A = this chain, B = another copy of it.
Amino acid sequence: MRYSNEHKQQTRERLLSSSGALAKRGGFSSTGVAGLMKAIGLTGGAFYNHFPSKDDLFTEVVRQELHNSPLARLATQGASRERLGRCLQQYLSLAHLHNAESGCPLPPLGVEIARAAAPVREEAEHWLVDLHQAWSATLEDDQLAWVLISQCVGALMVGRMLATEHVQSQVLDASRQFVEKALHEVG
């Protein structure tokens, strides 16, 4: 074979990573297969050597984005309350708001996940339940864990809909202070 299996695997990984970033920035359905391939220096025709369809790519993109999410890393390690707090302060930052392509997949891909077929939503649910379980253990509060997850996703969504950085900062500041207060109150 002119190309090693290792090369194919690397191409697949580059495609997944690049497509995740492009999807988070401009939307998955809005980005054509040709554009996704061009972003890693290939042409559209080569795509189908790696995925049977664009929908399959979306499934894998969601899987990989969730797996690589900074929030998920908090879940696997039993994180301390302080570690969780530092992570959420970063999450609720202007830097994160302005860089969707390298940030959490939930706000930019959430709607497309919501409208996707059952397997994608099952993947998302499993990941969210794991995350919730980990945060619940840290916070010793089942409900607060869901509230914080919703708060983070919502604040980023609302912030990104706004036109001026001034108001974006208001939203993020309010969320950040609320999260910090909530983390110190319980337990």
- Which of A6-14, A33-41, A123-131 participates in binding chain B? A123-131
Does A22 interact with chain B (Cβ within 8 Å)? no
Residues facing B in A108-122 (CB within 8 A) are 108, 110-115, 118, 121-122
B111 near A108 with CB under 8 A, answer yes
Count chain A residues whose beta carbon lies closer than 8 angstroms to a beta carbon of B.
48
Question: Within the oligomer, what is the number of copies of this chain?
Answer: 2
Which chain A residues (79-93) contact chain B, with CB distance < 8 Å? none
Q: Are A27 and B115 in contact (CB under 8 A)?
A: yes
Residues of B within 8 A of A152 (CB): 154
Question: Is A155 in contact with chain B by the CB < 8 A criterion?
Answer: yes
Interface string of A145-187 (1 = CB under 8 A from B): 1110111111101101111100100110111011000000000
